[in-house]
Amino acid sequence: MIDKKTLLASLLGASVVLPLPALAQDSSSDSDPVTLRMAYDADPVSLDIHEQLSGGILQLSHLTHDPLVRWTKDVKFEPRLAADWERIDDKTMRFTLRDGVKFHTGNDFTAEDVVWTINRLKRSADFKAIFDPIASATAIDEHTVEIKTHKPYPLVLNLATYIFPMDSEYYSGETEDGDPKDEIVKNGDSFASRHSSGTGPYEVVDRQQGVKVEFERFDDYWDKDSPGNVDRLVLTPIGENATRVSALLSGDVDFIAPVPPNDLDRVRADKNVELTTMSGTRIILMQLNQKRVEAFEDPRVRKAFNYAVNQQAIADRLMKGFATPAAQLSPKGYDGYNDSLEPRYDVEKAKELMKEAGYEDGFSVTMMAPNNRYVNDAKIAQAVATMLSRINIDVDLKTLPKAQYWGEFDDRAADIMMIGWHADTEDSANLFQYLTECPDPETGAGQYNAANYCNPELDEKVAQANVETDRAKRAEMLQAVEKALYDDAAFMPLHWQDLAWAAKKNVKLEPVVNVMNFPYLGDLVVEQ
Amino acid sequence: MIAFLIKRLMHAFVVMFVISVISFAIQSNLGDPIQQMVGQSVPESQRAELREELGLNDSFLVQYGRFAVNALQGDFGYSYFFNEPTTEVIQRHLPATLELVIAATLIIVVFSVPIGVYCAIRPRSALSRFFMSVSIIGISIPVFLTAIMLIQLFAIGVDFSPFPSGTGWGQWLNGLLSTEGGMPSYGRGNDLTHLFGTWDSNFFSLDGLTYLVLPAVSLASIMLPLFIRLIRAEMLEVLQSEYVKFATAKGISLKRIYFVHALKNTMLPVITVGGVQLGTMVAYTILTETVFQWPGMGLMFLEAIQRSDIPLIVTYLMIVGLIFVVTNTLVDLIYGLVNPTVKLTGKPA
């Protein structure tokens, strides 16, 4: 797995690093440095982890930084920079921070850094919305932080997975041009978008946007128990699916993600490569616009549409088993996941319902879907359109590239629109807030509710759940909401998109991947 | 001569002006750049703010006017994605593309001339027929497919065994049909030689060259057959002409007739087509670079479209337009050198 030139390069790299202390007793120093060459479909847009809330940036955050707590494989919390936490009262949570943690610059990590980071998150356009419930963060002493919320808020720990403390000392002051070093700039150059100092397992040593990013293991990384043995990471963005797979099969890279569903068999068949898949948390659904089509106001028609679509067939045949059929928004593991809900498919029942509603002869609708946003998105839309024809629905389908699609989506330009959603907070309430609540431009509720479905009673229930700090009670409330949405057929759920990674046999991916799709590469073991 | 160059300069301006107007006019169809910049949960009010900040709400004329005034001063705007001036982004990506085009051109020149000439001299030989049928296939296969096949054959390798592998002859035949793989499948590699500015070259090390081979071959694959056929056809025609017959009658050696007298006249139309095709080849790099993840302008352009990075798209289109005008001008100049009867200024001779 190590070829000559990378070995030479990493030896050179190591000789530069060696004069620094603390590597001498490390056991990995007597074996060869391990390089992992990986290819993702895109590279992070910036080194500033607060510039964009996206999968790519979060994957980067887990390399260069560490969160206060992080998700485990079964969607539980695991302490990272926060060693411990306790709820003081309904509105206050106290975190005890780990001792002896250092930033890449050598600065010590303290409670002040956490406070500084939270304040910066509250200024970030992308993170502002999810950090809105937090009223303040205070450093009690050097290793204790108290986070206060405006109202009782059950999801403080979920938010803590987004708090990747940044080196406040490093980002303080001004650059030579007189710009503050901590400014967050979406379009333009900023100090933080090109410089990075966190507590994470890797430091960025070289970055050429769109070409590659190189990381090296941080010598003073606090987590000495981490089994991770990769000394150097080279991330290359390969947008073209076929090329990414070829790069792995030809041995040019050691690890790729995502693996396109059409190539799953090819990857599985290769004896040097191992495929790792997992059911994901991104729900793909279709929204039936009640404002545009009168018939969709009738729950019987919406139900008939649900009965007409065979989710299992889409998941099995079209997605080649690379999806989990869904009957609700919340994936398994979320508090709102209601295991009594099953996908319904029964064409006869669908026809009956249409007859009852007085639409036996069907009607025509328009449908829009992206063609390069989700896995097989355009094909799924075609399949759904064909299935709907069995209840005499004539679908006029238009598929567009994602760059054009979202404009049309914002205009609610078709009667049926496809959307995929992953809850940033890994929590069911987020799904309801964006996808099913009554649209209200003032509060931003229902921002992606292209169905225009509105049920104030349910919205009220979600609001109550959001101030309920008893987790079990809250889960019950959220599951009730899922049930109500199901009974009302508020939308057409299709499936949760699966996740897939592939790597050479000696790269032990399985223990470090998770449903959030942030592989914890700091803990990755590559066998020699 | 000077008048001709000035005229061409004016052409270049007109071409770039037209391109910029067109690309500006279609930008509303290229999608919403804001959508690409922000996360899914950013509220509409924030988006509107950003849109206002970038001046995307202004009318077409205002936006174009602002762009044109800046462009005349050499400022083509900032790329939304790279957060850098677009000209710098393109400068960084240009060398990779040029190297690819140069390598492909070399392949085309080195192979098309001898093969084309041979096919003209011996039109009925089996080898000529073979070249002709292969070139038909070459023209008809899209670059994209050629590239993927090359990767499968030479980077990943194929294990193909229709013959019994137990026997000696079977193993030998299987070995002939299977390939080892091992060629690099993407990117430019690490072993680049720095020339100047943003130019790092693949040409000066063996490792660098191995990265160049597959992309260059697939880029050449579409043009090579075209040139073989073009040279063959022209050569056949020239060989029928009076002066060749006269030269043969005079007893000049065949080698001299073929490679000095006939070839020179064959090359005239080839140069014209070549000039136009060179520009086309820059356009074809979009496909080749995408498949091979070659970090050049073509890949950059495709990604810019996906990200609705309008300033970068506009600048790229204008620069490609400029390349077209420049190569055509050069072709016309060379044409004058090869055939002195051609007058560039268009005045009566």
Instruction: Tell me the pLDDT tens digit for each residue of B203-250.
Output: 888 888 999 999 999 999 888 999 999 999 999 999 888 888 898 899
Residues 351-380 of A with CB under 8 A from B: 372
The answer to whether A63 and A215 have CB atoms below 8 angstroms apart is yes
C-alpha distance from A415 to closest chain B C-alpha (Å): 21
**Residue A406, φ and ψ in degrees, nearest 5:** -65, -30
Residue type, B181: G
Q: Which residues of A touch B207 (CB under 8 A)?
A: 5
Q: What is the pLDDT of residue B63?
A: 85
Residues 265-324 of B with CB under 8 A from A: 290-293, 295, 299-300, 303, 305-308
Q: Is there a contact between B46 and A188 if contact means CB atoms under 8 Å apart?
A: no
Which H or E run includes B295? none
Helix residue ranges per DSSP H, A332-470: 347-356, 377-389, 402-410, 428-435, 456-465
Q: Is there a contact between B37 and A240 if contact means CB atoms under 8 Å apart?
A: no
At A31, the pLDDT band (50, 70, 90 cuts) reads low
Q: What is the pLDDT of residue A188?
A: 67
Write the Ramachandran bin of A367: left for phi over 0, alpha for psi from -120 to 50, otherwise beta: beta
Instruction: Tell me the pLDDT tens digit for each residue of A247-294.
Output: 999 889 999 999 988 888 889 999 999 999 988 899 999 999 999 999
Shortest CB distance from A54 goes to which of B39, B46, B291?
A: B39
User: Is the minimum CB–CB distance between A163 and chain B shorter than 8 Å?
Assistant: no
User: Is the minimum CB–CB distance between B190 and chain A shorter than 8 Å?
Assistant: yes
Q: What is the pLDDT of residue A420?
A: 93
Q: From the candidates B30, B42, B194, B312, which should be mutated to test the interface with A, based on the most A CB atoms within 10 A?
A: B42
| CA distances from residue B283 to A179, A316, B143, B221 in whole angstroms, order as listed | 40, 40, 12, 14
User: Is the minimum CB–CB distance between A242 and chain B shorter than 8 Å?
Assistant: yes
Q: Does A25 score more than 90 pLDDT?
A: no
In the predicted model, residues of chain B with pLDDT beneath 50 are 348-349
Q: Is there a contact between A188 and B78 if contact means CB atoms under 8 Å apart?
A: yes
User: Is the minimum CB–CB distance between B206 and chain A shorter than 8 Å?
Assistant: no
Share in percent of chain A as helix, strand, coil (round to 5): 30, 25, 45
At A73, the pLDDT band (50, 70, 90 cuts) reads confident
Instruction: Tell me the pLDDT tens digit for each residue of B94-148.
Output: 999 999 999 999 999 999 999 999 999 898 999 999 999 988 888 888 888 999 8
What percentage of chain A carries pLDDT values higher than 90? Answer: 68
Q: What is the pLDDT of residue A8?
A: 38
**How close are the terminal C-alpha atoms of chain B, in Å?**
14
> Three-class SS of residue A333?
coil
Average pLDDT over residues A195-205: 94
Distance CA A433, CA A478 (A): 12
Average pLDDT over residues A226-237: 93
Residues 70-129 of B with CB under 8 A from A: 78, 80-84
Q: What is the pLDDT of residue A454?
A: 93
Q: Is there a contact between A187 and B293 if contact means CB atoms under 8 Å apart?
A: no
Residues 173-212 of A with CB under 8 A from B: 185-190, 193, 208-212
Distance CA A264, CA A277 (A): 10
Q: Is there a contact between A424 and B157 if contact means CB atoms under 8 Å apart?
A: no
Q: Is there a contact between A372 and B187 if contact means CB atoms under 8 Å apart?
A: no
| CA distances from residue A507 to A71, A145, A512, B70 in whole angstroms, order as listed | 22, 38, 11, 51
Q: Is there a contact between A406 and B31 if contact means CB atoms under 8 Å apart?
A: yes
Rg (CA), chain B: 25
Determine the longest span between alpha carbons in chain B, in angstroms: 86
Beta bridge partners of A507: A526
Whether this model's ipTM surpasses 0.85 comes out as no
Q: From the candidates A158, A240, A272, which should be mutated to test the interface with B, based on the most B CB atoms within 10 A?
A: A240
Q: Does A211 score more than 80 pLDDT?
A: yes
Q: What is the pLDDT of residue A140?
A: 94
Q: What is the pLDDT of residue A84?
A: 94
Q: What is the pLDDT of residue A5?
A: 39
Closest to B254 (Cα-Cα) out of B86, B113, B71, B120: B120
Instruction: Tell me the pLDDT tens digit for each residue of A327-347.
Output: 999 998 899 999 999 999 999
Q: Does A30 score more than 80 pLDDT?
A: no
**Residue A39, φ and ψ in degrees, nearest 5:** -130, 120
Average pLDDT over residues A460-474: 91
Q: Is there a contact between B80 and A52 if contact means CB atoms under 8 Å apart?
A: no
